[in-house]
Amino acid sequence: MQHTLSLLIFHLFGLPIMNTPRILISGAGIAGLSLAHCLEQQGIHYVIIEKHATSTHTSSGIALPFNAIQALRKMGLADKVLAVAHQVNDVTYTKKTGKVLAYANLLAAPLNQDKFIAMNRESLHAILLEGIEPRINFNTTIDSFLPTTNGVNVISSNSELNGKYDLVVSAEGIHSPLRKQCFPEEETTIDHNIPNWRFVVDQPNHGLQPTYMLDRTELFMVYPLSPDTLYCYAHIFDQTNQYESGSSSVHLRKIFSQFSEPARSLLKNIDDSSVIKSRLESVKHPYYKKGRIVFMGDASSACSPLLQQGAASAFEDALCLAKQLANLPVADAISAYQNTRSPRVDWTVETSDKPVKLVKAMRNPIGAFIRNKVIQKKGPLNADGWKQLAKMPL
């Protein structure tokens, strides 16, 4: 709005128009919408496109740690998010029997920098859409692009949007078409051979805090979305793909048949219609830019959800990129974005994926035993990571 008013004033009074970058955002998910909000804050014009015909989201939960809330405060959205979210206060790791391995208080320093919350993903998506949805060009994709020394010539499925852009931002998720085209010589993602399942269940007065139940390569997590609702996540290492097809609910009950409460009762009555199945994948390494094309969110740094940094990193990416664009020429802003974000993002990806890369060894009881001893000594793996993240500069 600020940008549009400035242009109107320049036209009305015959003043020369300031050189403002032409920016194209590809993808209207969490990352793309976050960047749109941050560019609006800075008064920077943008064009945003989305391949789907309407706003889409998955009906599942999302957990946001303290740094995600800190970022949302800077975006001016924290109050709206907190109004519909559920705060959690601690996290516990247990064996499949329910025996506690480790516990962390999320209200203690340094984790008390801000709240830890969970909410329905569609609620977060709805908040991010506010004020942005009318500007989204739906059912639009980039058909081809030609990099130049000072921009990107884009041909899209919407001819009205074709032309030269000073900056193109890929906010397209882990399977970003732009990233694949920018780096055709390499496979940019890694499949960890870990199928995972997510679902939300009603559980009145459950009284639970986040709980992670571990066996060898099996993990079952419960995360409260409200006093009466739970978000569940489960995975297992599956090198032979025996769980790739068939009934998700049947697989889950089989895999976790020896797990105690709360897993046992939560899996008892689920059906396939309520379960979202996917595979755990990561980017090969973080990607930041290729010429005037910038990557953010999962297109840049998708990794294991251990530290729950998917949305948090997208928020931080958006704030950083918008700030650099507001203060620097585009080329310098892109370099500053990479230099500013890479220490924190590189560390997050490496730390999040380290346990995943070792999961194959957990098939051996000795490997699982050593992992459990590490957890008992250092505390919950995610809480240990959050403590380190809390001490790192943005």
pLDDT in tens, 229-258: 999 999 999 999 999 999 999 999 999 999
Split at pLDDT 50, 70, 90, the class of 20 is confident
Report the mean per-residue pLDDT for the chain.
94
Domain contains 287:
yes
What is the distance, to the nearest Å, from the Cα of residue 182 to the centroid of all Cα atoms in its chain?
A: 22
Mean pLDDT of 177-186: 97
* CB-based burial label for 381 (10 Å; 0-12, 13-18, 19+): buried
d(CA 172, CA 300): 9
- The two three-digit tokens of residue 48, written as one number: 């945003």
Split at pLDDT 50, 70, 90, the class of 19 is low
Domain contains 122:
yes
Q: Which domain holds residue 298?
A: 21-189+281-390
Return the pLDDT at 76: 98
Cβ atoms of 65 and 119 closer than 8 Å: no
Mean pLDDT of 192-202: 97
DSSP 112: G
Domain contains 38:
yes
CATH number at residue 51: 3.50.50.60
Per-residue pLDDT of 117-127, as tens digits, reads 999 999 999 99
Q: What type of residue is 379?
A: G
Strand partners, 120: 61
Mean pLDDT of 104-120: 97
The sign of the dihedral angle between the CA atoms of 255, 256, 258, 264 is: negative
Return the pLDDT at 1: 41
Q: Does 9 have pLDDT greater than 80?
A: no
The sign of the dihedral angle between the CA atoms of 303, 307, 70, 203 is: positive
Return the pLDDT at 8: 45
d(CA 263, CA 220): 7
Strand partners, 213: 94, 220
Say which residues have a Cβ less than 8 Å from residue 105's Cβ, sequence separation at least 6: 89, 90, 111
Q: Region of 173 please: left (phi>0), alpha (psi -120 to 50) or beta.
A: left
Say which residues have a Cβ less than 8 Å from residue 213's Cβ, sequence separation at least 6: 94, 95, 96, 98, 219, 220, 221, 259, 260, 263
> Considering the chain, what percentage of its residues have pLDDT values greater than 70?
95
Domain contains 196:
no
Domain contains 216:
no
Domain contains 235:
no
Mean pLDDT of 307-316: 98
Per-residue pLDDT of 75-105, as tens digits, reads 999 999 999 999 999 999 999 999 999 999 9
Mean pLDDT of 324-351: 98
Per-residue pLDDT of 282-302, as tens digits, reads 999 999 999 999 999 999 999
Split at pLDDT 50, 70, 90, the class of 393 is confident
Return the pLDDT at 394: 80
> pTM of the full predicted structure?
0.94
Task: Write the CA distances from 383 to 69, 178, 298, 300, 375, integer angstroms.
Answer: 16, 34, 22, 24, 10
d(CA 284, CA 319): 24
> Considering the chain, what percentage of its residues have pLDDT values greater than 90?
93
Pairing, β 163-165 against β 151-156? antiparallel
Mean pLDDT of 47-64: 90
Return the pLDDT at 11: 39
Split at pLDDT 50, 70, 90, the class of 55 is confident
Per-residue pLDDT of 324-335, as tens digits, reads 999 999 999 999
Split at pLDDT 50, 70, 90, the class of 13 is very low
Domain contains 308:
yes
Residue 22: how many other CB atoms lie within 10 Å: 17
d(CA 194, CA 242): 11
d(CA 48, CA 23): 8
Q: Does 12 have pLDDT greater than 80?
A: no
Domain contains 131:
yes
Cβ atoms of 22 and 165 closer than 8 Å: yes
Q: Does 73 have pLDDT greater than 90?
A: yes
Helix (H) or strand (E) holding 240: none
Counting the structural domains of the chain, the total is: 1
